[in-house]
Structure formats: structure tokens, C-alpha cells
Chain A
Amino acid sequence: MNITLNGDPLDVPGPVSVAALLETLAIDARRVAVEHNLVILKRAVFDQTIVREGDNVEIVNFVGGG
């Protein structure tokens, strides 16, 4: 299926849970925040939130800044 991840198109097998998507992308779930179709998710719901065809996902983390 095709989704938009951090503004870019991405082809991933799915539907898939946010937790599984992060695992596929080798991203440590404890260090990121995820927005799914403009809804900011609590970490506790990563398992039960399903990403489907056409969905928009933003994954952010902390970087250096002032």
C-alpha cells in the first residue's frame, strides 16, 4: 500500500499497526512521536492504531537545537 511518510510517498506492506511500521523502519518507538492523519498519538496506542492505504504519517524525534 502507499502512504505518505514525513511528506514523502512510501510503499509498505499493510495495513499495518504504527508499532509494526516503526519496527519495519528500525525506529525506536520510545524516542519518537507519531502523528497519524493529523492526530498525535499516545505511545500506548501505537499497537492498536492501524495505518491504511493513503494515510498520512509523521514521525518526529529530538535533534540538536537552541
Chain B
Amino acid sequence: MASDNLVIADRTFQSRLIIGTGKYPSNAVMAKAHEASGADMVTVAVRRVNISDRSKESLLDYIDTSKMFLLPNTAGCYTADEAVRTAQLGREAGLSNWVKLEVIGDEKTLFPDNEQLLEATRILARDGFVVLPYTTDDPIVCRKLQDAGAAAVMPLGAPIGSGLGIQNPNNIRIIREFSRVPVIVDAGVGTASDATFAMELGADAVLMNSAIAGAQDPVAMAESMKLAVRAGRLAYRAGRIPRKMYATASSPVEGLVGR
């Protein structure tokens, strides 16, 4: 099939798998997992520098930024104001105007506060940001985010870190149908089939962290996710057969011996 890159705003990515940089057993394992994943965009969080202990190695020593595009997030923010401030700090730290926008509404579920998310999307888009908002799998909210200036929408498959897989596949399909911007399923993937399924539903990309970082062998899981995302995308483009209640024979029904 013809080349099939992911295009968001003015940027082209080779891979439709976007991965995180958190919770790996070590930075060295993370670097190997990144390599195995084939991803060319990784998310990072923005936090205070540890002043008292400067011995800690820097995350950026383990990310080849000539190959990997850095996508700062606003994880842990609970209001639009906090998220906007964090996004602006991330822009100065990374010198790019892209942000994975998270505005969380609840500690236990980490579900987004869509009201605050919309507000932050509007402010940041007006400020020249390429905004990729993490949202619930609600087609109407996704449409509003797009209208507010989002460069992509990132509906969750399931709660962050839950590994439950795609809980509402029909909504993902509807969101894809409604959207003029890329749809990135963000959060909830547990294993390779979840990523394939998301892509088969028409997602333009999948973003994950825990499923790889938390696997017993993160490097092997990273490779499996690379293949899973590709397989799902190919299947989506190939066009699957319709589901039917009863059998349809694959072999000819004529010319049978003895009839």
C-alpha cells in the first residue's frame, strides 16, 4: 500500500504509535523500548527541578531528540489555569509549541474535566499552540474541542493505566466519523490486541505508556505494539468483510466428488 504517514498540524510522523517516558524500570530500558517501538513522538511531563539532589540523571540524556519529537504534557493539572501555565513552561523548556493537554477532574479515575479542558484548549490554541487534548470518548466533546482549535483529539480507550482496552468501540468509530482532525486513542491499552482494535476502529494513532513501561519485558512489548498498530492500520485500510450470522463456504460448492 502507498505510504501512510500520520500528519498532525504541520508535522509528519512515520509511526502511528506515540509512547510515554514514565514508569520504566530504568532510563536504559526506556531507551531500548523507544527504539523497539519505532515511535517518533514521545510524551514528557513538566515538573520542578529537584534542587536538593542534582545527582539524578536527566531524562533527556536517554532520548535521541534528533529522532524523537517531544510532546510535553500537562499531566496532574486540575484547572485550565494550571494546565495553561504548565503548557507555557513546557514550551520554553522544549522550544516547541505542541502540548498534550490534560486537565484532570478526579483523582481516582483520572477522567478529564471537559469543561476546563475546552477552556484551556481555546486559550492555548489562541496562543499559537498545537493542542492535543486528552478527553473522554464523547463525540460531542471531541467536536467541541476541534471547534476550539484542537489539532487532534485524544479520546481515552479506558482509564489511564487501567489496561482495560477499548471500552466503548462504537464511540471511537463515531468520533472518527465526526472529526476533521486526527483521532488518537490515548490511555487504556493493556496489550497488543487493544492497540490493533483501536486502529481497526479507525483511530489515526494510539498513545500509550503503562502498557509498555509496566510490561514484564518493556522492550518486547514495545515491539509488539509497533506491529499491532501497523496490523490494525493495515486491516482498517484493507476493509474488513461484513459480519454475518451464518457460514459462507470458501471452497466451490460445484464439482464435488460422488454427487
B88:A31 contact, CB within 8 angstroms: no
Q: CA–CA, A62 to B47, complex, Å?
A: 6
Is residue B70 contacting chain A, with contact meaning CB distance below 8 A? yes
Q: Is the interface of B mostly helix, strand, loop or mixed?
A: mixed
With contacts A64-B23, A64-B59, A66-B209 taken as known, whether A33 is within 8 angstroms of B30 at the C-beta atoms is no
B48:A64 contact, CB within 8 angstroms: no
Is residue A37 contacting chain B, with contact meaning CB distance below 8 A? no
- Min Cβ gap A24→B in Å is 11
B44:A64 contact, CB within 8 angstroms: yes
B73:A65 contact, CB within 8 angstroms: yes
B24:A64 contact, CB within 8 angstroms: yes
Q: CA–CA, A53 to B75, complex, Å?
A: 32
B48:A6 contact, CB within 8 angstroms: yes
- Min Cβ gap B154→A in Å is 12
Q: CA–CA, A7 to B51, complex, Å?
A: 11
Q: CA–CA, A34 to B93, complex, Å?
A: 8
Tally of B interface residues using CB under 8 Å = 37
A65:B43 contact, CB within 8 angstroms: yes
B58:A25 contact, CB within 8 angstroms: no
- Min Cβ gap A16→B in Å is 15
Q: Which residues of B contact A5 (CB under 8 A)?
A: 51
B51:A25 contact, CB within 8 angstroms: yes
B89:A62 contact, CB within 8 angstroms: no
**CB contact between A66 and one of B22, B58, B89 (< 8 Å): that residue:** B22
A27:B49 contact, CB within 8 angstroms: yes
Tally of A interface residues using CB under 8 Å = 27
Is residue A11 contacting chain B, with contact meaning CB distance below 8 A? no
- Min Cβ gap B53→A in Å is 11
- Min Cβ gap B72→A in Å is 7
**CB contact between B51 and one of A6, A40, A42, A66 (< 8 Å): that residue:** A6
**CB contact between B30 and one of A42, A59, A64 (< 8 Å): that residue:** A64
* Chain A residues proximal to chain B, CB less than 8 Å: 5-8, 10, 25-28, 31-35, 40-43, 58-66
* Chain B residues proximal to chain A, CB less than 8 Å: 20-24, 30, 43-49, 51, 54, 58-60, 70, 72-73, 75, 85, 88-94, 160-161, 187, 207-210
Taking A64-B24, A66-B207 as given, write out 12 further A-B residue pairs in contact, using a Cβ cutoff of 8 Å, ordered by the A residue number. Answer: A27-B54, A31-B58, A31-B93, A61-B47, A62-B44, A62-B60, A64-B30, A65-B21, A65-B44, A65-B45, A65-B209, A66-B209
